[in-house]
Structure 1
Amino acid sequence: MNFIEILDLSTNSLSGNIPECMGNFSSLHVLDLQKNRFNGSIPRSFAKGNNYRTLNFNNNELEGSIPQSLINCSALEVLDLGNNKINDTFPYWLGNLPKLQVLVLRSNKLYGSNWGCSKTKNCFPKLKIFDLSNNKLSGFLPAKYFKTLNAMMDFGEAEKSLQYMGENYYQDSVMVTWKGFEYQLVKIITTFSTIDFSNNNFNGEIPEVIGKLHALHLLNLSQNNLIVGKIPWQLTKLNFLGFLNLSKNHLNEPIPRDNHFDTFPNNSYDGNLALCGFPLSNTCETYEETPQSLSKSDDGESSNGFGWKAVLIGYGCGMVLGVTMGYLVFSTGKPLWVIRIVEGRQPRKERRLNNKRGRRST
């Protein structure tokens, strides 16, 4: 074990406890035990100076809490503890891991509303996949986290080319829910980013700051208790968003209409009885000027892309052309080319009609 870097025992029928010593091997980069029958708790002691890059314990029967010794895994990029029986509050201290890109805690028994992220602290700055779905978390959605998810705000120069997360002989995989179905991503593209907080007990409104996560591909906030509130128009700025699910909440007011927001189907908004507007059959009775329309008016653009700038430009061009034509007419006394343009076509049509009548008479 002193020379093994990758230990992949996934998709077997292994059972019993995970040995405590697994946290002490400094040579291991990857420990993949997903899809087995391990029970008991996660090893409690991860030694300082370890080189773990990936820990995947998904789909086992692990219980207890998440060990705080994981903070010693300073090189950790992928932590997948989903589909277990972990009973704990949200491990906000994992936000101090400087390289963590994938955090999957879905389908456990996480509870509470303590997020532990201060205004002056960057929490999860490298995180790209954030999955807390199917738990019992409550309280307001953590707006402070969304403000510091720098990796979801824009693509870095090094990530614009096609790259996958993983090692030379091992590539990370992750399970995601897309349009109601679970998919196993055998390879994780480094530019792929998701937030899935569905099926919890979150309340409050949807934070507008989510609209700054321009690299976000999937946003699922369905099956929560989000109170009566509007869908922030800032979400229309998420140009890479391919899947949106806000169903089974208590949202109201018109659905924002801009960019590709019109492409999301009806079931993205199911169960929000007070929502109205396209693509729902529930039309909005009245329209009030929203912050979206106010912000658009500042730069002269409306929601359909035709704004006052275009009108003013067209008006100005027409005015210049009209003044020029008028000057030519009055200064040169009806120039022939102007007369031909304005008056020349009508006489020709009349002459052709007269010729045809003449032929018919003969």
Structure 2
Amino acid sequence: MGGLPNFKVLVLRSNKFGGNISLPSPTKLPFPELQVLDISQNAFVGSLPDRYFNNFRAMIEEKKRNDPILNFDDMGYRQFVNIIVTLKGQDQLLNRLLEAFTTMDLSSNSFSGTIPPSIGNLKILKYLNLSHNTLTGHIPSSLGSMSELESLDLSTNKLDGEIPSELTRLTFLAKLNLSMNNLVGQIPQTNQFSTFENDSYMGNWGLCGAPLTVKCDNGTTLQPEEEGDDEYEFIDGFCWRSIVMGYGSGFVVGIGIGYMIIRSGRPTWLVNSFLELVINIGRRRRNSASKRKRIV
């Protein structure tokens, strides 16, 4: 099939195809006109097909036409294509003008290894889905060169490292899913990245910053402290504890000293004063009790 010069749409999704599609083939320049490639939900293995990425001319550069007027048959062939596209785990049926539509879905297979930087050469690709594989390594910064990209799904892999700041160049990006990976660092905040919700990043325990509730250590996402916070923290975190500890310690020490003084009978004046106070309190209580009885 790679040798067919006008082959534009290849959809093999939801089958049981397997094997390694990165192995060498007799076709020197495969799929030069391919615009739609969907081999998702199969059992393909091995690395991503780097040699294809370098030759998908219809995804690399816009086709220049010298004939401004197309005949009826040509226009009828190119007019519209119905294609199922998976966006954030949901299948959507799209009806698009084939002339301006490009998509590549390699999701739900067993592809491994890193994402080759050459994929960034697909400058007019609009939908890219590499989710649900076992891809490793960093997200290549070359993806920032895919200026026409509208949807990017790299979820449920084993990607690590930081989110490249180059991805903020993707000003047409409307759908992003980087969830369920091992990404770390601060989430970019500029351009389209300021519009994505939590579900675009969930499952990456090393990520921080908006829209996540996890704050970054560098302080860029920390809320500014209000005036008086330091003073309040000092009072709340130190003084009241010290006061309670002081009163508690003093009470225990006082009880101990009083017990020792009464037991030893020294100094005599202090013991006599304390005993006189206790006797007076007892007399007052007895007098009060007698008055209440007479009233009754």
Shift of 1:170: 8.3
Give 1:229-240 correspondences, 5 Å limit: 229-240=137-148
CA deviation string 1:313-344 (max 9, x = no partner): xxxxxxxxxxxxxxxxxxxxxxxxxxxxxxxx
Q: Tell me if structure 1 keeps the 8 A contact 2:84–2:93.
A: yes
CA distance in 2: counterparts of 1:189 and 1:101, whole angstroms = 9
Matched, 1:110 2:110: no
Once the two structures are superposed, the pairs formed by residues 30-179 of structure 1 within 5 Å of their partners are 94-118=1-25, 121-158=28-65, 167=76, 171-179=80-88
- Contact 1:165–1:171 (Cα < 8 Å) also in 2: no
After superposition, the C-alpha distances for 1:262-289 in whole angstroms (9 at most, x for unaligned) are 8868961100123433155714879xxx
Deviations 1:59-107 (A, max 9, x none): xxxxxxxxxxxxxxxxxxxxxxxxxxxxxxxxxxx10111001100011
Q: d(CA) in 2 for partners of 1:261 and 1:106? A: 27
Conserved 8 A contact 2:11-2:39:
yes
The answer (yes or no) to whether the contact 1:251–1:275 under 8 Å persists in 2 is: no
| Distance in 2, Cα, partners of 1:242 & 1:166 | 25
Letter in 2 for 1:250: K
Q: Cα distance 1:127–1:257, how it changes in 2: closer, same or farther (>3 A)?
A: same
1:211 is matched with: 120
Residue 198 and residue 166 in structure 1: after superposition, are their counterparts in 2 closer, same or farther (change >3 A)?
farther
| Count of residues in correspondence between the two structures | 192
Contact 1:174 1:188 in 2 (8 A): no
Alignment root-mean-square deviation, CA: 3.4
Which of the residues 253, 256, 277 maps onto 2:161?
A: 253
Answer whether contact 2:8 2:33 (CA < 8 A) is retained: yes
Q: Which moved more, 1:216-225 or 1:172-181?
A: 172-181
TM-score (norm 2): 0.57
Q: Where do 5+ consecutive residues of structure 1 fail to align?
A: 1-93, 287-362
Secondary structure of the corresponding residue to residue 51 of structure 2:
helix
Partners of 1:214 and 1:239 within 8 A in 2? yes
Question: For 1:237 and 1:169, how far apart are their aligned partners in 2?
Answer: 27
| Alignment-derived partner of residue 207 in structure 2 | 282
SS in 2 for 1:167: helix
Secondary structure of the 1:96 match is coil
Equivalent pair of 1:159/1:191 in contact (CA under 8 Å):
no
Q: Is the helix fraction higher in 1 or 2?
A: 2
What corresponds to 2:180 in structure 1?
271
Q: Does 1:184 align with 2:109?
A: no
Q: Work out whether residues 149 and 170 of structure 2, in 8 Å CA contact, stay in contact via their aligned partners in 1.
A: no
- SS where residue 145 of structure 1 aligns? helix
- 1:174 partner SS: strand
Tell me if 1:241 matches 2:157. no
Distance 2:102 2:46 in 1: 24
For residues 145 and 66 of structure 2, what CA distance do their matches in structure 1 show? 21
| Identity rate, percent | 35
- Contact 2:41–2:108 at 8 Å: present in 1 too? yes
Shift of 1:177: 2.1
Secondary structure in 1 aligned to 2:37? strand
Gap change, CA 1:96 and 1:119, over 3 Å in 2: closer
From 128, 135, 139, give the equivalent of 1:226.
135
TM-score by length of 1: 0.47
Residues 136 and 222 (structure 1 numbering): CA distance in 2 closer, same or farther, change over 3 Å? same
